[in-house]
A and B are shown apart, each in its own frame.
Chain A
Amino acid sequence: MPALLHRPQRSLQHHRANRPAALWLAGGAVLLLAVVSLFIGVSAVSPADLFSGDRDAWTTLLVSRVPRTVAVVLAGVALSIAGFIMQLMARNRFVEPSTVGTVESATAGILVATLFLPGAPIVVKMLIAAVFAMLGTSLFLTVLRRIPLRTTLLVPLVGIMLGGVIAAVTTFFAYRFDLLQTLNTWMIGDFSGLIRGRYELLWIVAVLAVVGYISADRFTVAGMGEEFTTNLGLSYRNTMNLGLVLVSLISAVVVVVVGAIPFLGLIIPNLVSLLIGDNVRRAVPWIAVVGAGFVLACDIIGRVIRFPFEVPVGVIVSVVGSALFITLLVRRNAGAQ
């Protein structure tokens, strides 16, 4: 049995984390972070200004700070849930949309849209990105089905290679058409440009996250395999298709509006899995809360670390996330020996 599947006993934590009180507490902490996020920025906005009715302060808050904070929370929630659904679909803990080619395909889609339909509204570009994301993800799942020996580490490797190929082709064409700069804005997630009028598309992912939650049990069942799913009277194919649409749409919307935030969908579900297990109905609220909190924290760090300049959130998430993830891996393996 692979060492990764064997983990130390954590039944006590399991009990504790199950209590709704803990979830509310975590939710409260995220709310606090969101409030802090509202008051960080180059033009000073303080609670006192707001209470004294300072019009400029209110404008900054409503036009820039609130949209940004909402965008951070929505992207954090949705990407974490998308990562989790992807992991259940691939039956592997080490995949997420940016390691299976979904995000790279979405980026390729926007490039195609920009080249051929430069004047199209952003919604159309997003839909084209979503279609590309679905094609790329299906390709990954198809390749996966044909691999006879699906070891724990082979699955993410296949995804990373596939993503690499798609990204290489995209970069080549971006280079040829002098769009490398534009490409970068999609590849590296950044919340700094998100003011009122530029973030609203993200509400779509809120709806998708709710759909993910409602169909949560189906994904848990599908995560137990095709035969298992059939035995319980569910259609495996329909469940996989639903997951494919959810993951691809979420990825496409976030890439178009914010840019890619790698690793997020990998770290958050694994963290929550260690704490409370994978029963989707219980895990999804936790994944949502922890995901939102993590991205909020990273965005705040990115804004204060070189104040008044900003480090893009994608960079911070990658650095903090990979460190966290390596720690996680080492601890898991240590427990198995």
Chain B
Amino acid sequence: MISIDHVTKRYGATTVVDDVSCRLPGGGVTSIIGPNGAGKSTLLSMMSRLLLPDAGRIEVAGLDVGTTAGQKLARTLSILRQENQLTIRLSVRDLVGFGRFPHNNGRPTPEDRDHIERSLDYLDLTDLGDRFVDELSGGQRQRAFIAMVLAQDTDYILLDEPLNNLDMRHSVDMMRLLRGLADDLGKTVVLVIHDVNFASCYSDEILAMREGALIHQGTPEQIMTPEVLHDIYDVDIQVEQIRGNRIGVYFA
């Protein structure tokens, strides 16, 4: 479980995250949605100790994110940001291998190699293992980073806009993959996502933020209504039921 207690983050006079409190159950996929500048990524960064909150407290699996030792936390939660430009030249297998760092301090054991090969296999990257990351396409590169996070083998996986720069097909593949991490491997997946319909189709729980505040939390059925969506985005969005999924239509 992730519990967030009265968390606030300010930059100068601007309050980016404003007194947010909530509980996320362990397991399943949770999406954080909201308009630009709502504080989604900032909240995710604080959940993953990349940013320190100005006030409040966050616990992941009972560990206080602010005070727990870095390495211990790195065995419990992993975070993947949207900007993953490598300036150095690493093979895919080496990159994935670094996911084992919190477990082995850079001295790989046979067990680590097992983890690495399984992660590569799970993401269909075995054949690309010896290629350099900078030789891959955008979709492949994103998969390589997910494989690294998978090799890190944490119960909690946090992702900041994992669909950024992916085309339709790769976006669908990515969401199916994240669903699989939750359903098949029992991971708790939390992601920041822009597309409400992806959030609706693939999440168990949706958090909606606006102007730094958490304004709604619920299942896709509860969130995907014209009233709630208008509340979040200030846009009239029609909601249709298509093959058991709620789809918001906001293009016209």
Contacts and interface: CB of A to CB of B under 8 A. Distances in A.
A234 interface: yes
Interface stretch (A75-83, A160-168, A183-191, A225-233): A225-233
Interface residues of B, number: 35
Contact of A277 (B70, B89, B152): B89
A11 B132 contact: yes
A333 to B, nearest CB: 14
A279 B81 contact: no
Contacts of B80: 231
Contacts of A11: 130-132, 135
Contacts of A60: none
Nearest to B130: A11
B74 A232 contact: yes
A217 B112 CA distance: 15
A9 interface: yes
B50 interface: yes
A217 B104 CA distance: 11
Interface stretch (B23-31, B32-40, B90-98, B184-192): B90-98
A224 B94 contact: no
B193 to A, nearest CB: 19
A233 B70 contact: yes
Nearest to A231: B79
Nearest to B76: A233
B91 A5 contact: no
A224 B50 contact: no
Interface string B128-158: 0011101100000000000000001000000
Contacts of B90: 220, 277-279
Contact of A233 (B72, B86, B135): B72
Given A230-B70, A233-B71, A217 B101 contact: yes
A296 interface: no
Interface string A206-247: 000000000011101101100110111111000000000000
B101 A5 contact: no
B14 interface: no
Contacts of B91: 14, 277, 279
Contacts of A10: 132
Contacts of A145: none
B85 to A, nearest CB: 7
Given A5-B87, A91-B87, A277-B91, A231 B134 contact: no
Interface string B163-204: 000000000000000000000000000000000000000000
B78 interface: yes
Contacts of A235: 70
Most chain B Cβ neighbours within 10 Å, of A6, A10, A217, A231: A231
B130 A7 contact: no
- Chain A interface size, under 10 / 10 to 19 / 20 to 34 / 35 or more: 20 to 34
Contacts of A218: 106
A88 interface: yes
B209 interface: no
Given A220-B98, A234-B70, A235-B70, A15 B130 contact: yes
B252 interface: no
Given A11-B130, A220-B98, A230 B50 contact: yes
A64 interface: no
B16 to A, nearest CB: 17
Contact of A223 (B75, B88, B135): B88
A234 B80 CA distance: 15
B87 A92 contact: yes
A322 interface: no
B135 A7 contact: yes
B109 to A, nearest CB: 14
Contacts of A5: 85, 87, 134
B135 to A, nearest CB: 5
Nearest to A279: B94
Most buried by A among B49, B78, B89, B131: B89
A221 B95 CA distance: 10
Given A14-B132, A231-B79, A277-B132, A224 B74 contact: no
Interface of A: 5-7, 9-11, 14-15, 88, 91-93, 216-218, 220-221, 223-224, 227-228, 230-235, 273, 277-279, 281
Given A7-B134, A224-B98, 13 more contacts: A6-B134, A14-B91, A218-B106, A221-B98, A228-B84, A231-B79, A232-B74, A233-B72, A233-B73, A233-B102, A277-B132, A278-B88, A278-B89
Interface of B: 48-50, 69-75, 78-81, 84-91, 94, 98-99, 101-102, 105-106, 130-132, 134-135, 152
When A and B form their complex, which 10 residue pairs have the shortest distance between CB atoms, in order from nearest? A233-B74, A217-B106, A233-B71, A278-B88, A233-B70, A233-B102, A277-B89, A278-B89, A91-B87, A232-B101
